[in-house]
A and B are shown apart, each in its own frame.
Chain A
Amino acid sequence: MNKASVKKEIGYSKKKNRDLTLMALPAIIWFICFCYIPLFGICFAFKRFTPVPGESLFKNLFVNSKWVGLENFSFLLRSSDMPGIMFNTLFYNIIFIILNIVIPVFLAIFLTELHSEKLKGSIQMVMVLPYFLSWVIVGYLVYAFLATDEGTVNHILGFFGKTAVQWYQSPKCWRLFLIILGVWKSAGYSMIIYLCAITSIDRTLYESADLDGATFMEKVHYITLPHLTPTICTIFILSVGNILNSDFGLFYQVPMDSGSLQGVTQTLDVYVYKALMQQANFSFSAAASFLQSLVGFVLLMVTNNIIAAIDRDSSLM
């Protein structure tokens, strides 16, 4: 028996284990500071937060504030803005879940077969660029088109003899704008994820399908799509887990926080931010984010189990 296999059977020595723990330690400390300590803050959602100035956060939260049970939640859910906010959050998320799967898969399948390597690379690069721009930048790109006086769109309207529109005051088209922007920003990136998945399909499958005289669409239907299913399911499960979350920048920064657009732009994340920073309503804000993670977690588990029941390999866990 050689030395290496002896080592394997008895596992690592104390010193080796200690070295590895030392290597893991800095990151563990970071996770404790920035993920685990804030966990106690879930209590904010079940307290009426009445801080005494000058005292520590823990004392203010646990001693100076009263437990109120689910009162924050019932107030939150009964507030008159809530139905609209919930509708917006779910509306955009459901549309994004569908479009952000269908469009990138479609783009990836048809891009793979292009002849020129160089062209494929360049197209990916242009399409992925929006993903790496912040919403602040996107906000300015949109402003260039929609500004009332100098905006490109209003000048084109003027050219055709139509009157200028105050885009940041008229909510009518914004649902469509936000959907287009959401897809524009992430389609290229998701496309690359699916391209990677397509690359791992054994190419001989297509060759034998060719021998059987399969058309391109048949090959996509019987070979490509089934092989993409696990990736699609992973992305689907993760996005369902985020169903009450939304891209704060898209809904707050891109419409320039315009009051007249609130009806179509306010989502739960915007509410959480505003309750905290503008109204200093800690308990409502905390209750809203608790609701987000609870609903997300439950839905993630349910979706994962349903998918696991249909096809074990496509599930997340």
Chain B
Amino acid sequence: MEKNHFKDINQYVSPENSAYSKKANTVVSFVYIALSVIMFLPVLLVIIISFSSEDSINEIGYSFFPKGLSLKAYGYLFNSGGFLGRAFLNSLLITAAGVVFGLMLMCPIAYALSRKEYKLRRGILLFLMIPMLFSGGLVSSYMVNTQIFHLSNSYYALILPNLCSTWFIMILRNYFQNAIPDSLIEAAELDGAGHFQIFRLIVAPVAKPVIMTVALFQTFNYWNSWYPSLLYLDSNHTELYPLQYVLVNMDRSIQTLVRDTQYLSGMNAYTPPTITIRMVMVVVVILPVMLILPFFQQFLKRGMTVGAIKG
């Protein structure tokens, strides 16, 4: 990895040596702003819908310019008893576990692979590459996970099968190998430090940008995951549903929600704003992503390289 990779992609071209004249810059900037706005419109629409009043939706549908605003759907969700809160906590739990355990598995092996003197290095590299090319397929992993490991209807099914990825291990290894001077590690070895100590005290702090990058990718992967729930959770285990899967099963979920609320509040006449509720839940899922994204961008600039496999 050359030094170039650590250059900030936004500082690479300064205004003085840009190919654009002032006028051209204004025009191109405008085009990009317009494009970004268009790309953002779907998300904006859902945010607006979540604040629209039920009357407005009945009258003019999902509109960028609602006739009335209301927080009713939000209020309804927050008072809806345990169901949605539980789903939110499930998503948080799965994400946290996926990130922490994923890094605990991937960082140490990546460090071992980054040591050129390590005897089993080539063998383990090959061992990690093979699953990238061959896999047993959906049927096989489904059968193994359900019948051998008995993961159905448990949190494990949502966490374990996606913890590691060869791709991430390679990204970590390349960084450990190229960004941390060998002399630093050799000096520590001479001082009698073991590999566990070297990794914890020297490598991990220096490699923070790449570790954070992988952590953020894991965060998004787990926060967005719904396919494992679709495969491994059945309708008798709604207490395990993460937010994403609640949204997959929205029609049934809204019924549960209504039932719970009626049970809790003891009133039957109240009809919830069902149309907006689903959009509120979508916003609840999108918001954390939008909040983390700026942090992600900081690391993205430095941690990412495509030719990771080659190094």
Contacts and interface: CB of A to CB of B under 8 A. Distances in A.
Given A196-B5, A231-B307, A41 B144 contact: yes
A136 B43 CA distance: 13
Interface stretch (B67-75, B78-86, B265-273, B279-287): B279-287
B116 to A, nearest CB: 9
A112 B12 contact: yes
A16 B195 contact: yes
Interface string A33-54: 1111111111011000000000
Nearest to A43: B140
B62 A216 contact: no
A45 B137 CA distance: 10
Interface stretch (A7-15, A77-85, A86-94): A7-15
Contacts of A62: none
B29 A119 contact: yes
Contacts of A115: 15, 18, 20, 25, 29
B28 A114 contact: yes
Interface in A97-155: 110-117, 119-130, 132-138, 140-142, 144-145, 147, 149-152, 154-155
A127 B19 contact: no
Contact of A141 (B9, B43, B64, B224): B43
Contact of A144 (B4, B36, B49): B49
Nearest to A200: B4
Interface centre among B19, B29, B134 (most CB of A within 10 A): B19
A117 B10 contact: yes
Given A24-B109, A132-B293, A137-B285, A31 B135 contact: no
A38 B136 contact: yes
Given A7-B189, A27-B105, A134 B25 contact: no
B138 A285 contact: yes
A112 B310 CA distance: 26
Given A21-B120, A113-B19, A199-B4, A123 B46 contact: no
Interface stretch (B92-100, B255-263, B297-305): B297-305
A272 to B, nearest CB: 5
Given A140-B46, A231-B306, A235-B306, A8 B297 contact: no
Nearest to A8: B117
B179 interface: no
Interface of B is mostly: helix
A34 B156 CA distance: 12
Interface stretch (A167-175, A187-195, A259-267): A187-195
B204 interface: no
Contacts of B231: 277
A57 B225 CA distance: 27
B175 interface: no
Contacts of A30: 105, 163-164
Given A12-B115, A133-B224, A26 B139 contact: no
B238 to A, nearest CB: 16
B148 A134 contact: no
A273 interface: yes
A38 B105 contact: no
Interface residues of B, number: 110
A32 to B, nearest CB: 9
Contact of A276 (B39, B142, B220, B306): B142
Interface in B143-200: 143-145, 147-149, 160-161, 163-164, 169, 186, 189-190, 194-196, 199
Contacts of A162: none
Nearest to B195: A19
A290 B62 CA distance: 44
A141 B124 contact: no
B140 A17 contact: no
Contacts of A40: 136, 140
B144 A37 contact: yes
Nearest to A131: B220
Contacts of B310: 316
Contact of B139 (A8, A140, A249, A285): A285
A248 interface: yes
Nearest to B304: A196
Contacts of A11: 117, 119
A239 interface: no
B109 A19 contact: no
A134 B58 CA distance: 28
B46 A144 contact: yes
Contacts of A311: none
A310 interface: no
A198 interface: yes
A253 interface: yes
B235 interface: no
A184 B199 CA distance: 40
B29 A114 contact: yes
B161 A150 contact: no
Interface of A: 3-4, 7-8, 11-12, 16-17, 19-21, 23-24, 26-28, 30-31, 33-42, 44-45, 56-57, 110-117, 119-130, 132-138, 140-142, 144-145, 147, 149-152, 154-155, 184, 188, 192-193, 195-200, 203, 206-207, 216, 219, 230-231, 234-235, 248-249, 253, 272-273, 276-277, 282, 285-286, 289-290, 292-293, 297, 300, 316-317
Task: List 3 tightest A-B contacts by C-beta distance, closest first.
Answer: A41-B140, A289-B137, A38-B136
Given A41-B143, A137-B286, 14 more contacts: A3-B190, A19-B196, A20-B195, A24-B113, A37-B148, A42-B140, A114-B20, A114-B32, A132-B224, A141-B43, A150-B275, A196-B5, A249-B226, A253-B248
